Structure 1
Amino acid sequence: MQIMKKKDDLMCHPSDAEAWKHFDRIHSDFAIETRNVRLGLCDDGFAPFCKSGKTYSCWSVILTPYNLPPEICMKAPYMFLTLIIPGPHNPKKLIDVYMQLLIEEL
């Protein structure tokens, strides 16, 4: 497996970002331990029945471990669907209520 190298101004991995480096400076105890897991969280919603005229939404929450090499970091086998939030509307400010169990598990 070939390892991607960072080019001058291109970000090949989240660890290339200034936010990652800032976090490492602020939380040096966490950063020094390579076994600590760094997770990315993504949520997105869609309307599965938009053609039928009914308003209904479904939101998925996906976790991705960023400790992986850049070649596999964002590949489907390493992206974990952790929540599906069904409902008539966007969860908006209440999304933390749905995520409480996930946060406790982590």
Structure 2
Amino acid sequence: MNRDAEDVNEDEYEPQSRRKLNKILRYFPLIPRFQRLFMSSKTADFMTWHHDQRMDDGLLRHPADSLTWKSFDNKFSSFASDPWSVRLGLASDGFNPFKIMSTSYSTWPVVLVPHNLPPWLCMKQSSLILSMIIPGEKGPGNDIDIYLQPLIEELKKLWAGVETYDVLRKDNFYLHAALLWTINDFTAYANLSG
């Protein structure tokens, strides 16, 4: 279009105002990462540790020894009988990444912990799975359910079963997962519970 033409609309050339985004979410798909745990010979054996190698001596040494785990197994016996079923914990809490209290900026990581792993690996940094980061000027508050929707959808698919290759058996199986726990402080608990 020729700017010298008389019929040019002046509004067309005014700079547009920069709109601020309301909600931002950095989501990292979960299913491919769980599948990789069974496709790697370094981690596949550990993913069935809770079923094959755990010693049940009445002491609480691992989440598998807890009443919650045992109650869940009684309620969902087909899930419990499958050694490849993954039980998860979800940890989330906000923090200010810039360490300046006057700056109103918040980051909320959402991390999943696969509790199938042995106690010496369960809470190691290399075993934690970052599923999403919620950045913003303030925490997600009660709107956290909006941010959690992609994670919930993937967890529903994992509950139904996702075909996965097991490198140790050299065969496919259906991977199932369930969220057993949330791990957070009371402020985050209030947001996560609604």
Corresponding residue for residue 46 of structure 1: 95
1:8 CA displacement: 6.2
1:93 aligns with 2:142: yes
RMSD across aligned C-alpha pairs, in angstroms?
2.2
After TM superposition, give the deviation of residue 12 of structure 1 in Å: 1.9
Q: Is the 8 A contact 1:5 1:12 kept in 2?
A: no
Q: How far 1:7 sits from its partner (Å)?
A: 7.3
Q: Which runs of 5+ in 1 are unaligned?
A: none
> Per-residue CA shift, 1:47-88, capped at 9, x if unaligned?
123526121111000011111111111111110111100112
Larger RCO: 1 or 2 (CA < 8 Å, sep 6+):
2
**Runs of at least 5 residues in structure 2 that lack an aligned partner in the other structure:** 1-52, 156-194
Give me the TM-score of the superposition, normalised by structure 2.
0.48
User: Max radius of gyration: which structure?
Assistant: 2
Letter in 2 for 1:95: I
Q: Percent identity?
A: 47
Instruction: Please state whether the residue corresponding to 2:111 is helix, strand or coil.
Output: strand
Preserved CA contact (<8 Å) 1:6 1:12:
no
- Number of matched residues? 103
Is 1:63 the counterpart of 2:112 in the alignment?
yes
> What does 1:17-28 correspond to in 2, within 5 Å?
17-28=66-77
Q: TM-score, normalised by structure 1?
A: 0.82
Partners of 1:72 and 1:50 in 2: CA distance: 30
User: Which residue number corresponds to residue 76 of structure 1?
Assistant: 125
SS of match in other structure, 1:77: helix
